Amino acid sequence: MMTQKMIVRVQLALTLSLLFGTASAEAQSCNDDIVASTPNARFKISGDQVKDVRTNLTWQRCAAGQTWNSATSRCAGAAYSLSWVEALALTDGEWRLPNIKELLSIVESACAYPAINDSVFPDTPETAFWTASPYINNTHTWVVLFGDGNDSGSDKNNGAAIRLVKDSSD
């Protein structure tokens, strides 16, 4: 027989699973009255990479930890949540962390949750993404929050996602 305490726990667990299940199923919200800051025409897509013709930068379409699925044209899997030092370890000389201005250049100001062009960068987590730009002191670095598109300083020991970039050769 279930005690009152067990019933409350089950109800709480069901409520939380419904809340989180609903939140993760919600679609990106865009305001059609605002001109898109990152229209599709600005990007040249090539599989798991995309060239921004305005900035002449090439971006990975998926966050590190996710993999590009060409059959669905989506990113699969979960993005890594890494410290800043761990994020730097994933760079290789060609692919690097973007600076704050570069990462802000792909924020879509007409959309939120996530604040990015979902056709170009599908399945972007609504979380903080590291940049290579130092913040006020040596212990913090700039991040871009792709839930609402804002930027902030974050302790380098915190976890955040990364999207690598490289300079385009053409």
- Residue 130 sits in which domain range? 28-167
Give me the pLDDT at residue 27, please: 86
| Residue 169 banded pLDDT, cuts 50, 70, 90 | confident
**Does residue 42 fall inside a structural domain?**
yes
Does residue 112 belong to any structural domain of this protein?
Answer: yes
| pLDDT class of 69 with cuts at 50, 70, 90 | very high
In a domain, 20, yes or no: no
Using alpha carbons, select from 34, 105, 100, 92 the residue that is nearest to residue 64: 92
Q: Is the pLDDT of residue 109 over 60?
A: yes
Taking CA 123 as the corner, what is the angle to CA 162 and CA 170, rounded to the nearest 5 degrees?
60
Q: Do the domain assignments include residue 18?
A: no
**pLDDT value at position 18?**
35
Taking the model in full, what pTM does it have? 0.84
Domain count, the chain: 1
